[in-house]
């Protein structure tokens, strides 16, 4: 009997001592991970801002394949939310504030009584994005015991954040490589006046030259209050693959002939019968689209006009969105 009392006393001492130890543990925490994501900041922000996208890269499915997510009508922006169930129980999350391409603040509820704050921070670094994913809050007494048993909240959460950012990076790299080519067939292009600049250069300098020239023509039109009547386009006068050279014009359509001086000139595109192809995706795949267009023309039995000048219209481009999977380029090749 006396031994039993000693055992109870010992257990009581352990409980009291353990309680004192747990109580002295720091309740506040701020756990975070940072990674460079190889995607533009707008693309990364849009992906994370919508809870429905999280299934594409969320690391928790690797740990618990039984997780089932449910989504309400609003899944992005302030007021967005979702809930889930899994072997660890139920949980929910909602977005309480955000600054586009800057930060997202969310509140998570594991059903334990406390509601930690999940936060995302975005920083553009050239053509990539530095992303920080973190969680901060204050553990209750029971949560201190839980995380103590699990080896610590930081030990458990940091690997999940690291893995999630890694999966996000891999997913977005794959997504941005997506591109499509659609053949629209024969189109009678109406032509019209345009303002332009022309140059010749090595083909590997084309992209930089094209961007600078489009900017020059656009600035000229703004400075002289000239209205643009359509999307910018490139008129190809010559593309010599053998000698790695090209001659082209960067153009903006206008509704009438305009007298200009200097480097920006006025041209007129005659109405022409063309074979139209629509390419959606990053410009690095544009050569693939052009080759496919010429093959489609040959397969359909059409003949291209000798010395004809094909052109491409940038219907949706980087000035509209930084997401290359949304860029739309219309290719027009003159045919007989």
Q: Model confidence over 20-31: pLDDT tens digits?
A: 434 444 457 888
What integer best gives the mean pLDDT of the chain?
88
C-alpha pair distances (Å), 181 with each of 18, 216, 279: 66, 30, 5
- Whole-number Å distance between alpha carbons of 263 and 89: 68
Which architecture, in CATH terms, is 25-176? 2-Layer Sandwich (3.30)
Output the pLDDT for position 5: 52
What is the reported pLDDT for 152? 52
**What per-residue confidence (pLDDT) applies to 127?**
83
% of residues, the chain, pLDDT over 70:
86
Distance CA 190, CA 66 (A): 58
CATH class, range 180-334? alpha beta
> Distance from CA of residue 213 to its chain's centroid?
27
Residue ranges of the chain that CATH labels 3.30.530.20: 25-176
* CB contact burial 30-56 (16+ within 10 A = b; e otherwise): ebbbebebebbbbbbbbbbbbbebbee
Residue extent(s) of CATH 3.20.80.10 domains in the chain: 180-334
Please give the structure tokens belonging to residue 327: 């860029």
| pLDDT score recorded for residue 131 | 98
Its pTM stands at: 0.80
Note the pLDDT tens digit of each residue in 262-311.
889 999 999 999 999 999 999 999 999 999 999 999 999 999 999 899 99
pLDDT of 177 reads 94
**Which residues of the chain register pLDDT less than 50?**
4, 6-26, 141, 144-145, 147-151
- What's the sign of the alpha-carbon dihedral 33, 36, 42, 44? negative
């Amino acid at each position: 009997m006396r031994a039993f009392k000693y055992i109870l006393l010992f257990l009581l001492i352990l409980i009291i001592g353990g309680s004192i130890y747990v109580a002295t543990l720091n309740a506040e925490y701020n756990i975070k991970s940072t990674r460079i994501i190889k995607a533009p900041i707008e693309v990364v922000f849009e992906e994370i801002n919508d809870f429905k996208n999280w299934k594409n890269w969320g690391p928790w499915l690797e740990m618990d394949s039984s997780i089932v997510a449910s989504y309400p009508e609003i899944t992005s922006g302030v007021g967005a939310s979702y809930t889930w169930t899994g072997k660890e129980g139920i949980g929910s999350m909602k977005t309480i504030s955000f600054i586009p391409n800057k930060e997202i603040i969310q509140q998570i509820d594991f059903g334990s009584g406390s509601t930690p704050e999940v936060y995302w921070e975005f920083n553009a670094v050239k053509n990539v994005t530095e992303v920080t994913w973190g969680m901060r809050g204050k553990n209750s007494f029971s949560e201190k015991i839980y995380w103590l048993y699990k080896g610590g909240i930081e030990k458990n959460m940091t690997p999940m954040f690291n893995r999630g950012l890694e999966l996000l990076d891999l997913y977005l790299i794959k997504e941005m490589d997506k591109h499509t080519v659609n053949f629209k067939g024969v189109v009678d292009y109406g032509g019209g006046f345009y303002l332009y600049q022309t140059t010749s250069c090595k083909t590997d300098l084309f992209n930089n030259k094209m961007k600078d020239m489009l900017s020059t023509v656009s600035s000229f039109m703004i400075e002289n209050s000239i209205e643009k009547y359509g999307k910018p386009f490139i008129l190809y006068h010559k593309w010599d693959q053998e000698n790695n050279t090209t001659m082209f014009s960067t153009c903006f359509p206008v509704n009438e002939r305009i007298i200009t001086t200097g480097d920006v000139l006025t041209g007129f595109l005659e109405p022409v019968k063309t074979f139209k192809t629509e390419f959606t995706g990053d410009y690095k795949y544009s050569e693939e689209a052009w080759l496919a267009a010429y093959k489609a023309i040959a397969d359909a039995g059409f003949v291209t006009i000798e010395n004809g000048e094909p052109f491409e219209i940038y219907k949706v481009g980087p000035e509209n969105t930084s997401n290359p999977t949304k860029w739309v380029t219309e290719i027009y090749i003159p045919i007989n």
